[in-house]
Amino acid sequence: MSNRFLKIHPADNVYVALTDLKAGETLTVDGGKPLTLVDDVPAKHKFTEAPLQPDDEVLMYGTLVGKAVQPIRQGGVIGTHNLKHKAAPYAGRTKAYSWAPPDVSAFKDKTFMGYHRADGQVGTANYWLIVPLVFCENRNVEVITEAFTTELGFGKPEAYKDYVHELVQAYRNGGTTRLETVPFLPAGAAADNRLFKNIDGVKFLTHQGGCGGTRQDSQTLCKLLAGYIHHPNVAGATVLSLGCQNAEITTLQERLKELDPKGSKPVFILDQQQSGTEQELLTQAIRQTFAALVQANNIERKPAPLSKLVVGLKCGGSDGFSGISANPAIGHTSDLLVTLGGSTILSEFPELCGVEQELINRCEEDAAGELFIKLMRTYSNAAEAVGSGFDMNPSPGNIKDGLITDAIKSAGAAKKGGTAPVADVLQYAEYIKKPGLNLLCTPGNDVESTTGTTGSGAQIILFTTGLGTPTGNPVSQVVKLSTNTKLADRMPDIIDFNTGSIISGEKTIDQVGEEILDFIIEVASGRVTAKSVALGQDDFIPWKRGVSL
């Protein structure tokens, strides 16, 4: 691979700049041909192989990603000023799909240390959940949060609180003139003061749903919360209900029974309108939860095969390198896991625009492909109905860093799913049923997507980013992978793994993909803590059935 520019697929008619290129430079491209740049091309952006006229198509990753809206000279940079979104049409299966699984001999005997649940699932962490069925109970959940966090030893050093204290003292002693001289002192590592050594935390899922919206949203919320309670990283849950909301207790119980007919996990449901006083509700909730934590603390990590892993595949704050480094790297990791009998979940349907036909052809069952078509078209139509189609998906940051159209963004985003056949297609809040690669309908929105992916059973989420994002989740461990070394160096507090060695040519996609799987094993075993977990980044936003991209 060239260290300065790259043609991703032989059929492409644009190149990706791997470093800043200057107008007037003459490059040697395919077969030794000279190509002179007519524009400056920033790293991550694309330049043309040949002149383009209006309506000429642009291909990347071997697929249609846009059309020219004005003449573009050979060696010219493409951008929103001269290129518009255009994606290939799709229908039912058009050809058979064959797959050559990767060599997994280096991993076939490896295990991770996990928490074995009675239903056969294995957790990579051991949490207890405090869940409100309706937003009216958020305050009571927060009261329990304050009561538990410090006393159980889950509190973290409060460096920013200490910083404000020092600013207050400086202001009192010298007014505003001394504020600039007050140093910020980062907190040291927190001592492990946990009362329960086998409990990784008590997690609190506050939200704004459960009533006042559509009944469909409340029903979906119950299904999502049931997925979180059933999740292998969860030992049990305490659920607070007001009593009169749309998200009814019986609906949650029905969804839980569908997932776990034997009711193998402790779940306490308290109704405030039946309890009477707030004090009675809270003391009962705290007492029952504390007693359950004593029992959950008896569970210890034991070896488990890699086939018990369910790994989410997500990107956010993407850049022009995402589709050629981090995304294909975790795509190879996904293929390795699938070959080992494990499961992966590829979400973000707005970011599969233009690659639908490939995914349809990869579906093992026609019914899955048909459901994928239905979900994609329904979602796309809903977006267009409010004047915000998939073509408006790239954010300003995406565009600035080379993702000019949604089809360019999607073609690179789909690389996260590797090359394995699609075992199943899941609707939002549907729990995973089959091993292998699963497609899950979620928005591209980072937190709505990770919230949904966790609710479908992912213990760990591989989250690639080119620009940086702190997104996390209360239950799954969100591992951040940078697409480039500059980001990893600039934001080391949020980046867990750097795939920039692919861009520099030091390592191959397959090599990095295998290293990522080794890293996952360490995280799953509790030997490495994901940065999002260490930062307490517990983001939880259920997707409402309005349009969210």
In which band, very low, low, confident or very high, does the pLDDT at 85 lie, cut at 50, 70 and 90? very high
In which band, very low, low, confident or very high, does the pLDDT at 1 lie, cut at 50, 70 and 90? very low
In which band, very low, low, confident or very high, does the pLDDT at 549 lie, cut at 50, 70 and 90? low
In which band, very low, low, confident or very high, does the pLDDT at 363 lie, cut at 50, 70 and 90? very high
In which band, very low, low, confident or very high, does the pLDDT at 548 lie, cut at 50, 70 and 90? low
**What pLDDT is recorded for position 2?**
54
**What pLDDT is recorded for position 78?**
97
Bridge partner residues of 114 (DSSP):
302
Q: Quick one: tokens of 357?
A: 């036909």
Q: Looking at 152-161, 234-243, 300-309, which range is the least confident one?
A: 152-161
Q: Number of helices (H) and strands (E) in the chain: give both, helices first.
A: 16, 22
pLDDT for residue 108 is more than 90:
yes
Bridge partner residues of 434 (DSSP):
none
In which band, very low, low, confident or very high, does the pLDDT at 157 lie, cut at 50, 70 and 90? confident
User: Which among 544, 333, 543 has a CA at the least distance from the CA of 455?
Assistant: 543
pLDDT (tens digit per residue) in 462-484? 999 999 999 999 999 999 999 99
Q: Quick one: tokens of 128?
A: 């207890």
Q: Which residues of 505-523 are buried (b: 16+ CB within 10 A; e: fewer)?
A: eebebbebbbbbbebbbeb
Q: Which residues of 309-323 are buried (b: 16+ CB within 10 A; e: fewer)?
A: bbbbbbbbbbbbbbb
User: Which among 243, 389, 385, 400 has a CA at the least distance from the CA of 317?
Assistant: 400
Going by their DSSP bridges, the two strands 343-346 and 310-315 should be labelled as parallel
Q: Looking at 58-62, 117-121, 144-148, 453-457, which range is the least confident one?
A: 144-148
**What pLDDT is recorded for position 389?**
84
Check residues 186 and 520 and name the one with the higher pLDDT: 520
**What pLDDT is recorded for position 390?**
87
**What pLDDT is recorded for position 135?**
96
Q: Quick one: tokens of 174?
A: 């010298």
**What pLDDT is recorded for position 467?**
96
In which band, very low, low, confident or very high, does the pLDDT at 375 lie, cut at 50, 70 and 90? very high
Q: Looking at 86-90, 124-128, 308-312, 450-454, which range is the least confident one?
A: 86-90
User: Which among 519, 510, 98, 108 has a CA at the least distance from the CA of 339?
Assistant: 108
pLDDT (tens digit per residue) in 431-467? 999 999 999 999 999 999 999 999 999 999 999 999 9
**What pLDDT is recorded for position 177?**
78
In which band, very low, low, confident or very high, does the pLDDT at 306 lie, cut at 50, 70 and 90? very high
Going by their DSSP bridges, the two strands 267-271 and 302-305 should be labelled as unpaired
Give the pTM.
0.95
Q: Quick one: tokens of 127?
A: 């949490």
Cα separation, 464 vs 461, in Å, equals 10
What is the DSSP secondary structure assignment for residue 98, as one 8-state letter? -
**What pLDDT is recorded for position 387?**
86
> Taking a C-beta distance cutoff of 8 angstroms, is the pair 78, 40 a contact?
no
pLDDT for residue 65 is more than 50:
yes
Bridge partner residues of 267 (DSSP):
237
**What pLDDT is recorded for position 175?**
79
pLDDT (tens digit per residue) in 219-265? 999 999 999 999 999 999 999 999 999 999 999 999 999 999 999 99
**What pLDDT is recorded for position 546?**
58
